A and B are shown apart, each in its own frame.
Chain A
Amino acid sequence: DTGVSQDPRHKITKRGQNVTFRCDPISEHNRLYWYRQTLGQGPEFLTYFQNEAQLEKSRLLSDRFSAERPKGSFSTLEIQRTEQGDSAMYLCASSSETGSREKLFFGSGTQLSVL
């Protein structure tokens, strides 16, 4: 069990550029989440996958954001035409449980800075 892996750890980009982040969940986990965390705040839900199906998206996820999980394994989060307000930590989490007691396993995140 190597845990949830996110790449890159840090990304600096210029406003207007596109960026893509990758998340590798724990191998047997079929549920995958993306959250965004800004400085001094708790994480905010962005989207959720069960296997390859994207089942829920937050209103925070504007048209510039897209997430995929093509084979139900790793996931990518792409931000097009980045804005300074996109600067945040992007956290990925996975789980194998369902129900109210679902425990999420988080990666260490990708810190995005948009200049």
Chain B
Amino acid sequence: AQKITQTQPGMFVQEKEAVTLDCTYDTSDQSYGLFWYKQPSSGEMIFLIYQGSYDEQNATEGRYSLNFQKARKSANLVISASQLGDSAMYFCAMKPIIQGAQKLVFGQGTRLTINP
């Protein structure tokens, strides 16, 4: 079974600052994928970034980067130069890389608020 833990219920950051959202995970699978999704107040989840457990380099997508530390089982999301539109719920998720594995397991989320 997989488990995702996000220990920060809420984060408050000044606009243009960088912010790190924490995510730790637990799994017995050898290969797995880690995801971050953003959920604005409108409700739809928006894919941000993906990291494979076998990827040697940390993933980056524009202002988003993933600080992946496999030995610590952490996959923190870093948002550089935060913007007001970044205010939302952020969810870390994972799924094993095995035949037939389809479901994502999500953490409980972190609410990020960007202050002007």
A interface, CB within 8 angstroms of B: 3-4, 33, 40-45, 48, 55-56, 58, 89, 91, 93, 100-101, 103-109, 111
Contacts and interface: CB of A to CB of B under 8 A. Distances in A.
B84 interface: no
Interface stretch (B14-22, B45-53, B62-70, B75-83): B45-53
Contacts of B106: 42-44
- From A42, A103, A104, name the one whose CB has the most chain B CB atoms within 10 angstroms: A42
Interface in B83-116: 91, 93, 95, 97, 100, 102-109
Interface string B4-34: 1000000000000000000000000001110
- From A3, A4, A43, A48, name the one whose CB has the most chain B CB atoms within 10 angstroms: A43
A108 B37 CA distance: 14
Given A101-B33, A108-B42, A42 B107 contact: yes
Contacts of B32: 100
Contact of B44 (A55, A100, A106): A106
Contacts of A41: 108-109
7 contacts: A43-B104, A56-B103, A100-B33, A100-B95, A106-B44, A107-B44, A108-B44
Contact of A42 (B44, B46, B91, B100): B91
Contact of A4 (B44, B52, B102, B103): B44
B48 to A, nearest CB: 10
A91 B52 contact: no
- Among all A-B residue pairs, the 7 with the closest Cβ atoms: A42-B106, A45-B103, A106-B45, A108-B43, A100-B97, A100-B33, A109-B43
B47 A43 contact: no
A89 B42 CA distance: 12
Contact of B47 (A33, A89, A104): A104
A43 B93 CA distance: 10
A92 to B, nearest CB: 10
